[in-house]
């Protein structure tokens, strides 16, 4: 047995395997195999990883390209606190590249993970390599001015403020 190890870039490869015997030629086997290396590339575009937002309307953009015709793309949003699926939506696609925008209205504050999974017409599918995070926080922090006291006069301004959230 002979083992080959190759590092090939993304693409579709046709590998023809034939068995030869010295002086005779092809001996009972010649076969071509199709090999797909990363046939689908999914990129999360926006919002960027680690985004914080106080806007309940979220727009999530995913790019996908494939060496084959695309079939669909599915957007997933998970609640980070318990890993539950908060929302998913699929869209049918055509062609070999696409940019899809998914809209979601947040109703619960918290940290979320999101990603997109695309499939092509040859049953290949893939997610983006990493989940992105987004934090939805619509409650304004409560600030309390501890000093200076109201209607105070100073030569320079120094203040001491506390909050119910991290500053």
- Give me the tens of pLDDT residue by residue for the chain, a chain 167 residues long: 677 777 776 667 787 776 666 666 555 566 777 776 667 999 999 999 999 999 999 999 999 999 889 999 999 999 988 889 999 999 999 999 999 999 999 999 999 999 999 999 988 899 999 999 999 998 877 777 766 677 666 666 666 666 666 54
Round to whole Å and give the CA distance between 83 and 28.
Answer: 54
Q: Give all strands (DSSP E) within 10-140, no chain letters.
A: 11-21, 25-37, 40-46, 51-53, 57-66, 70-79, 85-92, 97-105, 110-120, 125-127, 132-136
66 with 97: CB under 8 angstroms?
Answer: yes
Round to whole Å and give the CA distance between 27 and 18.
Answer: 8
Element (H or E) spanning 38, and its range?
none
Q: Name 66's Cβ contacts closer than 8 Å, sequence gap at least 6.
A: 39, 40, 41, 96, 97, 118, 120, 124
- pTM comes to 0.69
């Amino acid at each position: 047995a002979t083992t080959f190890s190759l590092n090939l870039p993304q693409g579709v490869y046709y590998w023809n395997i034939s068995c030869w015997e010295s002086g005779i030629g092809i001996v009972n086997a010649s076969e071509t195999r199709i090999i797909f290396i990363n046939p689908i590339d999914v990129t999360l575009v926006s919002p960027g990883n680690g985004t914080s937002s106080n806007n309940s309307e979220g727009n999530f953009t995913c790019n996908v390209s494939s060496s084959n015709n695309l079939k669909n793309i599915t957007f997933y949003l998970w609640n980070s606190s318990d890993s539950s699926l908060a929302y998913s939506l699929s869209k049918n696609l055509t062609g070999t590249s696409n940019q899809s925008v998914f809209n979601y209205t947040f109703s619960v504050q918290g940290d979320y993970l999101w990603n997109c999974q695309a499939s092509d017409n040859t049953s290949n599918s893939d997610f983006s390599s990493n989940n992105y995070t987004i934090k939805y926080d619509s409650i304004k922090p409560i600030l309390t001015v501890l000093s200076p006291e109201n209607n105070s006069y100073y030569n320079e301004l120094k203040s001491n403020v506390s909050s119910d959230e991290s500053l």
